[in-house]
Amino acid sequence: MKNFANIIPIVTDMISGAFGGAVIGDCIGGFRGAILAASLGAIYMLFYGIHVMRQQRIHEKSTKVLPD
């Protein structure tokens, strides 16, 4: 269940990236551009979300207080 809770922010980022890409792609290239830009926006936000999770994990490990 803990892993599922970590995936939810990435999925919401992907959805927002897809919507944002679709809006921009529709303005630039019509329907075909919207589909392409939505796919690219979702993929970009997927990798961005994975990157942010990895950075948070590294930060948590580096600031962990060791017992005496």
H-run or E-run covering 45: helix 2-62
pTM for this prediction: 0.76
- Does 53 or 68 have the greater pLDDT score? 53
When mean pLDDT is compared across 14-18, 40-44, 45-49, 55-59, the lowest value belongs to: 55-59
pLDDT (tens digit, 9 = 90+) per residue, 27-45?
988 888 899 999 999 999 9
Please choose, from the candidates 10, 12, 38, 13, the residue with its C-alpha nearest in 3D space to the C-alpha of residue 23.
Answer: 38
- Other CB atoms within 10 A of residue 41 CB: 23
Q: How many alpha carbons lie under 13 Å from residue 40 in its C-beta half-sphere?
A: 11
